[in-house]
Amino acid sequence: MQLEDYFNFLAPNDIRLKGTRVGIETILYDFIHRARTPEEIAQTYPSLTLEQVYATILYYLHNKEAFSKYLADWLEWNHQQVKAQQLNPSPTAIRMRKLRAEQRKKINHAQVSSR
């Protein structure tokens, strides 16, 4: 089995593990930026096997330069999505923010009252 056989190359910016909807960026972000072990990653995502996690990391190590750009592009896209959501929140997000604010207000009021 070739290392590439573990992946579906859907587009230059969309590589997923075969048989799953998990993109390699998910595994690599956990491994590189969160310093999680392959075992921790496999436990977090039940649809993945430990072998798939190791294959992804090995594929990254063999193609580090290309995947560093892949991850940088993915992180930039995520930042843009977060900004877009903040500028134009969904009705659900607005409702959740309102509920959180009310909850904080109740907690602060309870703390002041108990003093």
Q: What is the pLDDT of residues 20-38, one digit of tens each?
A: 999 998 999 899 889 999 9
| Separation CA 48–CA 1 (nearest Å) | 18
Q: Which domains does the chain have, with CATH numbers?
A: 3-88 (1.10.10.10)
11 vs 51: which has the higher pLDDT:
51
| Separation CA 30–CA 47 (nearest Å) | 16
pLDDT digits (tens, 9 = 90+) for 48-91: 999 999 999 999 999 888 777 777 887 787 778 778 888 888 88
Start-to-end C-alpha separation, the chain: 67
Q: Which residues of 20-38 are buried (b: 16+ CB within 10 A; e: fewer)?
A: eebbbbbbbbbbeeeebeb
